[in-house]
Structure 1
Amino acid sequence: MGFWWRPLGVLASVMLVALVLWAASGWVAALGFLAGIQAYVMLRRLWQEYRLSRWLENPDEVTPPDAAGSWGDIFYRLERLQRRQKASRSELSNALEQFEHAAMAVPDGMVILNDNEQIDWCNPASRKYMGLDCERDRGQFIRYLMRQADFLDFLDAADYSRRLVCKSPINRELTLSLQLVPFGVGKKLLVARDITDLERVDAMRRDFIANVSHELRTPLTVVGGFVETLADAPDLPPGESRRYFDLMLDHTRRMQHLLDDLLTLSRLESTDDTLKDEPVNVAELAHALKSEAESLSHGRHRVSLQLDSSAWLKGSLQEIRSALGNLVSNAVRYTPDGGEITLTWRERDGEGIFSVTDSGEGIAAEHIPRLTERFYRVDRSRSRETGGTGLGLAIVKHVLTRHGARLDIQSIPGKGSTFSVVFPAQRLMTAPPSATVIPFPGQGQAAG
């Protein structure tokens, strides 16, 4: 009743006045009064409707009308509704702006397509992955910009549960995963994700499994064949049986070395295995490695040691010994008989450098960047002849990474190679007071 009481009260007052005029001046005066009131009401209504129409056409420029009576109530309610709509529009605008900023920052490429497969919007990452530009390509058909046959088939299928793996149209080194997602009414969201690293890791996993299987298959085949031979011919001459047992022992040790290296790699790559620093006497370790090289060589090489620094290292003795031992054993393994192997410990520009130099066959430049990959071999047949597992330099790489060190490889085909482990200055330390210091020769003199 809040809306009706005022007009009903005005109507009652007008009728009362009309009745009074009728009684006092006759019916003509009463009808004239009512006609005047009717004309006033109609003109006032037209004026208020005009003000309302003018305000609704330009609500942000025209001042909201103000009036008394029921029209004042209408204007007030409309103005309040307008304020609510402005607040809702402002909140929606802020939400859309935040969404757009978030979409701009998303590392995945995002493209909004309308029902005609035209580009409505795309984020900056879509330029990196698909070569699209939001300003330049807005309204363009995505089919005209990305013409790969597999992508067009992907669009035609409209299978939202399917992902398309393909190369980037602007960078063939990038592998993308594309997916279509329903978006709004009749629209689709095309999402492009860079999966290059995932593909590379998956390829490495496949290669790793294939390499391990291949490396284990050969010794297992040999051992299995000899076991069958011994089982079928128990009366073999002792000399021949001994030869079979020696070969089986060699292949068994080869499998054992491979498994040991795999376990070492697994431990080094484990995030739970924290590095425990301890003082490492490099001079003592170098002498031990020299003895190890001489033992592996069996007198076939000349092994020398050159100590030009008395510095110690902070790190894991076990890991550092494993890494340097792999370099030494590789030098012995790939240096022809009569060759020279030199171990050197020195300092340069504040860094500690442990080098293993050999006079072997050398390595071509194109192979050097891949030497630390698992199972990568320059010459597979020669590697198997020498008993290598193909994991030694991969272990070296992981150990050095954990110690903040790096591996520098210099090689000249036909003349030899130098593998240098460069330890950062923060890994160097002086000998502890209680340590037994091994004297080292003067600059440029050989030890041992």
Structure 2
Amino acid sequence: MFWRIFLFLLCQIVPALAVWFFYTGHDQYTVTLLAALAGCYVWLALDGWRGWRLLRWLRSGDTSQIPLGSGFWGEVFDRARKLVRSRDRVLAESDNRLQEFLAALQASPNGVVLLDRDGRIEWFNQMAAGHFGLDERRDMLQHLGNLVRDPGFAAYFSTRDFRRDVVMPGRNSSSSKPVRLSVHMHPYGEGRSLLLSHDITALDQAEAMRRDFVANVSHEIRTPLTVLAGFVETLQSLPLKAEDRNRYLDLMSQQAQRMQTLVSDLLTLSRLEGSPLPPSQEWHPVAALMAQCEQDAHDLSALLWGGTQTLSFETHGVAELAGSASELLSAMFNLIGNAIRYSPADKAIVVRWTSTPDGGAIFSVKDQGQGIAPEHIPRLTERFYRVDRSRSRETGGTGLGLAIVKHVSQRHGAELSIESAPGKGSCFSISFPPQRVHQQTTLPTATERLIDA
């Protein structure tokens, strides 16, 4: 401030002294006063110009330019520039935090919609766009109630009672592929709301499967238990001949064996679902697996049909298969066992192992049974699903065999395929990927097959 006053006085004194010493007219005093006044106006003009430059800079807010150097206005500019830069830094940090927060919401597995106090959309992430069919360019600042027309959600949104969630169908829900959403509103701020949506389709399906599973297991176990209880009561209350008693005991043994098989299959499924994936470094000769399956198949056919079926086992190419031997045997023999059970006594069953050009392999079981209608094929791998329930029980099936085959195939990176038509038999195939198959150029010896078996 001192230098500002000093310059102001200097701008008056210098022209006044110059006129006083160099002008000798009769009006010397008047001219000297006018020179001092002119110096004052010049100083005011220069000072106003510098102040105007500062004001223009403040209006533009461009901190990269430095319009003033030193002096009073220079110091004002320097302090203002520091304040503006500090403000810009705070705004940049706030914007970065906002972008990080929005990026986190964008990465959320839930749909997120921010609503103002009037229920208009301020922001939403891509998950919410998929759940409700929203478009950023079209639906921003639109009222949510005009875009989501589900009656359950409309009632939930209008009552403003957000203590619970509401379940509604998703935008792309259909009868063949239902989509279920859980939607919950959370008020915050001054009248604003946060909407969270979560796809619960898998949870609903899992719950439905759990209910069906419990119902099916209860049904499957109730029948043999009822039979066993009836036979026990008969044996306890009636005097029977040895022949009748032995017949009843045989029937009771069959029912007990059926329950034991059911429990064994359930434990197998539980173990497959809860255990780690089979190792890819343990190799097993395919010839040994096929030999074991062939022996068990002849035993089962002899038990059910007296050995009248024609069983053919063909192995094209010598290979080793990576994975769990017990799981592979279970899957392979389940397919063979089904073919034996559901094929007539005088029909042929062909079991093949065939190498594919890409280095993989296909294990297939083809029978000459009555075949399966197309509408049943997609559901054959469901637990307890049977095309003919009465016939399945007669042959000792539990309805879990193909479910086990599907799980084993998936755990080994393989794919189960089914080809069948009524009256033309069926062909069940497991396609193994090349990384699970090791082609050999020499046949394994009988000793090696025996050791691996």
TM-score (norm 1): 0.80
CA offsets 1:61-93 (integer angstroms, 9 cap, x no match): 896674877665544333211110011111222
C-alpha change, 1:400 and 1:169, in structure 2 (3 Å) is closer
Q: After TM superposition, list the pairs within 5 Å mapping 1:295-306 onto structure 2.
A: 295-299=302-306, 301-306=308-313
- The one-letter code sitting in structure 1 at the alignment partner of 2:246 is R
CA offsets 1:367-388 (integer angstroms, 9 cap, x no match): 1122111111112222222221
Equivalent residue for 1:260, pick from 261, 264, 273: 264
Equivalent residue for 2:216, pick from 197, 203, 211: 211
Equivalent residue for 1:324, pick from 327, 332, 337: 332
Secondary structure class of the residue paired with 2:363: strand
CA distance in 2, matches of 1:161, 1:169: 24
- The one-letter code sitting in structure 2 at the alignment partner of 1:429 is Q
Secondary structure class of the residue paired with 1:312: strand
> In 2, are the aligned partners of 1:290 and 1:343 still within 8 Å (CA)?
no
* Higher alpha-carbon deviation: 134-143 or 351-360: 351-360
Partner of 1:277: 283
Structure 1 residue 413 corresponds to structure 2 residue 417: no
Report how far residue 106 of structure 1 moved: 3.8
Partner of 1:109: 111
Secondary structure class of the residue paired with 2:365: strand
TM-score (norm 2): 0.79
Instruction: Structure 1: state its 5+ residue gaps.
Output: 1-5, 15-31, 439-448
Q: How many residue pairs align between the two structures? A: 416
Secondary structure class of the residue paired with 1:154: helix
CA distance in 1, matches of 2:242, 2:363: 48
C-alpha change, 1:414 and 1:437, in structure 2 (3 Å) is farther
Q: After TM superposition, list the pairs within 5 Å mapping 1:30-429 onto structure 2.
A: 53-60=55-62, 66=68, 73-172=75-174, 173-231=178-236, 233=237, 235-272=239-276, 274-275=278-279, 276-280=282-286, 281-299=288-306, 301-315=308-322, 316-349=324-357, 350-426=359-435, 427-429=437-439
Secondary structure class of the residue paired with 2:386: coil
CA distance in 2, matches of 1:90, 1:9: 37
Secondary structure class of the residue paired with 1:60: coil
Report how far residue 134 of structure 1 moved: 1.1
CA distance in 2, matches of 1:94, 1:348: 56
CA distance in 2, matches of 1:136, 1:205: 42
Instruction: Structure 2: state its 5+ residue gaps.
Output: 10-32
Partner of 1:446: none
Secondary structure class of the residue paired with 1:346: strand
> In 2, are the aligned partners of 1:289 and 1:328 still within 8 Å (CA)?
no
* Higher alpha-carbon deviation: 254-263 or 413-422: 413-422
* Higher alpha-carbon deviation: 203-212 or 59-68: 59-68
C-alpha change, 1:390 and 1:115, in structure 2 (3 Å) is same
C-alpha change, 1:378 and 1:169, in structure 2 (3 Å) is same
Secondary structure class of the residue paired with 2:316: coil
CA offsets 1:305-355 (integer angstroms, 9 cap, x no match): 142425233233322221121112211221234333233333343443332
CA RMSD of aligned residues (A): 3.6
C-alpha change, 1:424 and 1:239, in structure 2 (3 Å) is same
CA offsets 1:284-309 (integer angstroms, 9 cap, x no match): 23431442343333326422214242
Among all aligned residue pairs of Structure 1 and Structure 2, give the percentage whose two residues are the same amino acid. 43
- The one-letter code sitting in structure 2 at the alignment partner of 1:175 is R
